[in-house]
Amino acid sequence: MADKNLMTPSTTSLSGLLGNGITYRVPIFQRDYSWRNDNWVDLWEDIKILLNTGKDHYMGAVVLQR
């Protein structure tokens, strides 16, 4: 029988996701990356605002597998 807890959603901060000492790898079957420079500029501006205000920001869904 399949594991019922295969995908347990949780919420974390950006620093909790990136500042945890874990190395993430993108699988070879992942679709091509489609962000352009403007997308990165917008994201970086959002991150700077969050650091200065302490407010929350919805980054979207990220699916991770151990």
Does 5 reside within a domain?
no
Q: Where are the alpha helices (DSSP H) in 1-66?
A: 14-18, 37-53
pTM (2 decimals)? 0.52
Q: How far apart are CA 44 and CA 46, in angstroms?
A: 5
Does 66 reside within a domain?
yes
Residue range of the domain that includes 58: 34-66
Does 45 reside within a domain?
yes
Does 7 reside within a domain?
no
Give the number of domains in the chain. 1
Does 38 reside within a domain?
yes
Q: Does 5 score more than 70 pLDDT?
A: no
Q: Does 2 score more than 70 pLDDT?
A: no
How high is the pLDDT of residue 37?
Answer: 92
